[in-house]
Amino acid sequence: MIFLDNAGTTKMFDECVDIHRVFSCEKFYNPSAMSNESLKIAKLISETEQYLLKELDAKEGNIIFTGCATESNNLAIKGSLRSGNWEYVFSEGEHPSVFNVAKKLQLEGNIVHIIKLNERGQVDLIELEKVLNEKTRLISVMHVSNETGAVNDIDKISKLKDKICPKAILHVDGVQAFKKIPFSLRKTSVDLYTFSASKIHGPKGVSALYVKNKNSLKEVFQGGGQQYGLRSGTENVSGIMQFRKAVELIDTDKNYQNVAHLKELMKQELKYVDGIEILDFEGSPYVLNVVFNGVKGETMLHALEQNGVIVGLGSACSAKKAGNRVLEAIGVSKEKVVSSVRISFNAYQTEEEIEKVSKIIVEVYKDIKKRMM
Report the catalytic residues. Answer: 317
Q: Tell me which of 150, 175, 211, 262 binds ligand PLP, using CB under 6 A.
A: 175
Cβ within 8 Å of residue 286, ≥6 positions away = 6, 7, 144, 149, 176, 180, 259, 263, 344, 345, 346
- Window 342 to 371, contacts with ligand PLP (CB under 6 A): none
Cβ nearer to ligand PLP, comparing 178 with 365: 178
Give me the least distance between CB of 133 and ligand PLP, in Å please.
27
Q: Does 161 bind ligand PLP (CB under 6 A)?
A: no
> Which stretch, 66-74, 110-118, 125-133, 299-307, contacts ligand PLP (CB under 6 A)?
66-74
The DSSP string of 196-229 is: ESTTTTS-TT-EEEEES-GGG---SS-SS-TGGG
Cβ nearer to ligand PLP, comparing 91 with 176: 176
The DSSP string of 142-169 is: ESB-TTT--B--HHHHHHHHHHH-TTSE
d(CA 289, CA 147) in angstroms, rounded, equals: 8
User: What is the largest distance, in Å, between two alpha-carbon atoms of the chain?
Assistant: 72
Cβ nearer to ligand PLP, comparing 205 with 275: 205
Give me the least distance between CB of 143 and ligand PLP, in Å please.
8
Give me the least distance between CB of 120 and ligand PLP, in Å please.
17
Cβ nearer to ligand PLP, comparing 188 with 207: 207
Q: Tell me which of 70, 91, 140, 188 binds ligand PLP, using CB under 6 A.
A: 70
Q: Does 337 bind ligand PLP (CB under 6 A)?
A: no
Binding mask 112-151 for ligand PLP (x = CB under 6 A): ------------------------------x---x-----
Give me the least distance between CB of 246 and ligand PLP, in Å please.
14
Q: Tell me which of 189, 196, 242, 258 binds ligand PLP, using CB under 6 A.
A: 196
Q: β-strand 111-115 against 87-91: which pairing, if any?
A: parallel
What does the buried/exposed string (b/e) look like for 333-363 if buried means 16 or more CB atoms within 10 Å of the residue's CB? eeebbbbbbbbbbbbebeeeebeebbeebbe
Cβ within 8 Å of residue 63, ≥6 positions away = 48, 49, 52, 53, 208, 209, 210, 211
# residues near ligand PLP by CB under 6 A: 15
Cβ nearer to ligand PLP, comparing 346 with 358: 346
Q: Does 176 bind ligand PLP (CB under 6 A)?
A: yes
> Which stretch, 132-140, 170-178, 320-328, 350-358, contacts ligand PLP (CB under 6 A)?
170-178
Residues 66, 44, 254, 120, Cα dihedral to 10°: 20
Q: How far from chain centre, in Å, is Cα 71?
A: 13
Do 195 and 250 contact (CB within 8 A), yes or no? Answer: no
Helices (H), the chain: 14-21, 36-55, 69-78, 96-107, 125-131, 154-164, 237-249, 252-270, 297-306, 325-330, 334-338, 351-372
Q: Tell me which of 6, 48, 97, 255 binds ligand PLP, using CB under 6 A.
A: 97
Give me the least distance between CB of 361 and ligand PLP, in Å please.
22
Binding site for ligand PLP (CB under 6 A): 68-70, 73, 95, 97, 142, 146, 173, 175-176, 196, 198, 207, 315
